[in-house]
């Protein structure tokens, strides 16, 4: 047996390999089982025949965001900047709560296969057709390649620490697993396997956190709580003008400025302000509006409250035991995997390896299925071949899956820091979020509003990238935030310089969606269409933010040594949840 192969098998015990093989066989079995059902039609392949229950929808959503990269990025941020840096994604709790009470209903009413299909329901004419095709191609290729690239890159880091693989081999292995599984089963298999994979990953990372914080290396949990005093600068949940990089050294480069942007700008300015591709795909796959709402709520509870803190505990433990990242070749993100390798024995090491496999597979398969849905439904079927049979479309969908997989592997070679890739990806479409929200609420938004917003974002970030390279300086977050105001000004001017959508297009959208907001000219033509009051929804949104925020921070306070504050915050969260329940029962 070659020495390299021997090293691979010796990295895990026989017990660990049994766990890995059983997991892979179960995942493959689910994919095979749903192959026939997924092959019936495009609706079955991409939105599961619109028949998914809320518990599958929500778990599939959170499994997709629980990728192999996520614990690594959280670890890197905690080790470098501190816990507060996670506001880069915590801030989305505002938009996710709005999605629960507003957009989940609207997307389910739209009855589309992809979010881009909505474009030709909301807008009309050649601008709408162009926008649909361009967004589908852009988000399914370049945008999606970056996402899949960093997910594969993260899994490659895991494999390299576990087995000592070269990155090339690790990437090829990851690609092979993802392609075969996704090609077979469509969203049916992806969503059902997500359910299984999420709980495997959650249990694995929770057990891991429990083991390390109770390790004798830190003197058990009591010792862990004592030793975190030495890393207090990394445990701040919020930034003040004097913490982190202080304002006194320059407001625009300070940690406080970054924190303010995270909390006040990112959640409404990004491309996923009214959902995102794979979220929308699952909301559209729900049995009805109620299941879409409950599924999104279940996702938010898991995403922010349940799964996060085990990662932080391991990150803090790694900082106590390994203040530098020398054991990972200077890679702060990979220190999470170093702790697995150094502190877990047989059985547990296999469970954590499977947890990473589950996290990787649930995300990459979703991205592949979602990207293929765009290329098929919004490009190929819309512009290339409109009249083929369903079996032809499914065959081409699988072909698109193969192409996306290969290109994602290429991008994985070029992503070194996953956290930076997250931030750059946001900047690529940072100016379009407000348009995506307002298209549901304001009749005056037209196709040119979206075209100009996306075009301005892409042009601005491209010019900033060229400028910083010419100057020989790094592309900082303070540069990227410029995208937002420039894009808003441009799309507002374009909106008022161009004509509104035709009366017929707006009427069709209004009748189907029954939107809230500023639709007076259209509403007057349809007095028989009743729209419910938006005020109770606003109240529930505020209570929802309170419920998630205080639960999330409260649990963190409990685990990191301030139990009284934590318990009080959790009490506020529970009260907020009770009020939401009372309000929804009345409605």
Helices (H), ranges, 214-247: 220-227
User: At 61, which helix (H) or strand (E)?
Assistant: helix 54-65
Note whether residue 553 is domain-resident.
yes
Instruction: Give residue 1's pLDDT.
Output: 46
CB–CB of 437/459 below 8 Å? Answer: no
- Dump the DSSP string for 352-369: HHHHHHHHHHHHHHHHHH
Q: Which of 384, 451, 441 is nearest to 132 (CA)?
A: 451
- The CA distance from 453 to 435, in Å, is 7
Note whether residue 580 is domain-resident.
yes
Note whether residue 202 is domain-resident.
no
Kindly report the CA angle at 431 between 428 and 434, in degrees rounded to 5?
A: 135
- The CA distance from 102 to 537, in Å, is 8
- The CA distance from 427 to 218, in Å, is 40
Dig out the tokens for 447 from the structure: 């196709």
Note whether residue 575 is domain-resident.
yes
Instruction: Give residue 463's pLDDT.
Output: 85
CB–CB of 184/31 below 8 Å? Answer: yes
Which phi and psi angles does 314 have, rounded to 5°? -65, -40
Note whether residue 547 is domain-resident.
yes
Integer angstrom CA distances of residue 52 from 58, 286, 315: 10, 5, 36
Neighbouring C-beta atoms of residue 244, cutoff 10 Å:
20
DSSP state of 112: -
Q: Which of 480, 474, 477, 482 is nearest to 427 (CA)?
A: 480
Instruction: Give residue 302's pLDDT.
Output: 95
Neighbouring C-beta atoms of residue 3, cutoff 10 Å:
7
Instruction: Give residue 167's pLDDT.
Output: 55
DSSP state of 531: -
> How many domains does the chain contain in total?
1
DSSP state of 99: I
Average pLDDT for runs of 10 along the chain of length 587: 59 80 79 67 72 92 83 91 91 95 95 92 96 91 77 76 66 69 70 83 91 90 89 88 79 83 88 86 91 96 94 94 82 87 83 81 82 90 89 87 79 58 62 93 96 90 82 71 90 96 95 93 86 91 97 95 94 97 84
- Dump the DSSP string for 269-284: HSTTTT--HHHHHHHH
Q: What is the per-residue burial (b if ≥16 Cβ within 10 Å, else e) of 74-99? A: bbbbbbebbbbbbbbbbbbbbbbbbb
- The CA distance from 553 to 444, in Å, is 40
Dig out the tokens for 227 from the structure: 């030793």
Cα atoms in the Cβ-side hemisphere of radius 13 Å centred on 33? 12
Helix, coil or strand: residue 519: coil
Q: Which residues pair with 286 in a beta bridge?
A: 52
- The CA distance from 503 to 522, in Å, is 8
Helices (H), ranges, 214-308: 220-227, 255-261, 267-269, 277-284, 289-300
Q: Which of 116, 121, 119, 156 is nearest to 139 (CA)?
A: 116
pTM: 0.89
Domain of residue 576 covers 532-587
Note whether residue 562 is domain-resident.
yes
CB–CB of 349/115 below 8 Å? Answer: no
Instruction: Give residue 312's pLDDT.
Output: 95
Cβ-proximal residues to 576 (8 Å cutoff; 6+ apart), any chain:
543, 544, 546, 547, 550
Integer angstrom CA distances of residue 125 from 33, 130, 456, 502: 42, 9, 22, 9
Residue count of the chain? 587
Note whether residue 301 is domain-resident.
no
- The CA distance from 92 to 57, in Å, is 19
Instruction: Give residue 185's pLDDT.
Output: 65
Note whether residue 549 is domain-resident.
yes
Which phi and psi angles does 124 have, rounded to 5°? -135, 170
Instruction: Give residue 3's pLDDT.
Output: 56
């Amino acid at each position: 047996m070659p020495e390299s192969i021997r090293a691979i098998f010796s990295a895990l015990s026989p017990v660990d390999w049994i766990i890995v093989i059983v997991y892979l066989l179960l995942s493959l079995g689910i994919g095979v089982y749903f192959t026939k059902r997924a092959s019936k039609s495009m609706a079955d392949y991409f939105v599961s025949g619109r028949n998914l229950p809320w518990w599958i929808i929500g778990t599939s959503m959170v499994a997709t965001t629980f990728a192999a990269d996520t614990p690594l990025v959280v670890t890197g941020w905690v080790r470098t900047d501190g816990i507060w840096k996670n506001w880069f994604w915590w801030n989305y709790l505002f938009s996710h709560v709005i999605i629960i009470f507003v957009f989940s209903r609207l997307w389910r009413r739209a009855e589309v296969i992809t979010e881009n299909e909505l474009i030709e329901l909301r807008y009309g004419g050649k601008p709408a057709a162009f926008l649909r095709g361009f967004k589908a191609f852009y988000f399914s290729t370049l945008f999606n390649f970056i996402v899949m690239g960093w997910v594969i890159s993260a899994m490659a880091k895991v494999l390299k620490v576990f087995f000592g693989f070269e990155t090339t081999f690790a990437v090829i292995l990851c690609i092979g697993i993802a392609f075969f599984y996704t090609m077979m089963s469509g969203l049916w298999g992806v969503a059902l396997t997500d359910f299984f994979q999420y709980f495997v990953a959650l249990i694995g990372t929770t057990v891991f956190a429990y083991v390390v914080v109770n390790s004798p290396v830190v003197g058990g949990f009591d010792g862990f709580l004592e030793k975190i005093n030495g890393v207090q600068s990394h445990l701040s949940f919020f930034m003040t003008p004097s913490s982190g990089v202080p304002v006194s050294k320059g407001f625009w480069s300070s940690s406080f400025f970054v924190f303010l942007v995270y909390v006040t700008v990112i959640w409404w300015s990004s491309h996923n302000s009214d959902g995102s591709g794979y979220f929308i795909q699952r909301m559209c796959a729900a049995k009805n509006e109620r299941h879409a709402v409950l599924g999104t709520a279940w996702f938010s509870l898991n995403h922010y409250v349940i799964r996060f803190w085990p990662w932080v505990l391991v990150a803090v433990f790694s900082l106590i035991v390994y203040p530098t990242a020398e054991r990972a070749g200077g890679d702060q993100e990979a220190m999470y995997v170093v702790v697995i390798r150094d502190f877990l024995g047989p059985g547990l090491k296999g469970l954590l390896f499977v947890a990473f496999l589950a996290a990787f597979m649930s995300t990459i398969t979703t991205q592949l299925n979602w990207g293929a849905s765009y290329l098929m439904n919004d490009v190929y079927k819309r512009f290339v071949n409109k009249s083929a049979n369903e079996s032809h479309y499914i065959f081409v969908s699988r072909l698109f899956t193969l192409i996306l997989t290969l290109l994602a592997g290429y991008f994985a070679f070029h992503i070194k820091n996953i956290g930076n890739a997250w931030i750059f990806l946001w900047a690529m479409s940072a100016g379009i979020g407000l348009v995506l929200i307002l298209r549901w609420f304001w009749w005056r938004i037209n196709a040119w509003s979206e075209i100009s917003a996306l075009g301005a974002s892409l042009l601005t970030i491209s010019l900033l990238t060229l400028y910083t390279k010419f100057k020989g300086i790094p592309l900082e977050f303070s540069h990227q935030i410029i995208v937002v105001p420039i894009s808003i000004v441009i799309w507002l001017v374009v909106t008022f310089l161009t004509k509104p959508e035709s009366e017929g297009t707006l009427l069709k959208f209004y009748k189907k969606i029954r939107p809230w907001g500023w639709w007076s000219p259209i509403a007057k033509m349809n007095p028989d269409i009743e729209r419910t009051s938006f005020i109770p929804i606003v109240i529930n949104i505020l209570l929802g933010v309170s419920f998630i925020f205080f639960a999330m921070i409260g649990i963190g306070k409990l685990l990191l040594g301030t139990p009284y504050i934590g318990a009080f915050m959790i009490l506020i969260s529970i009260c907020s949840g009770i009020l939401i329940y009372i309000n929804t029962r009345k409605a």
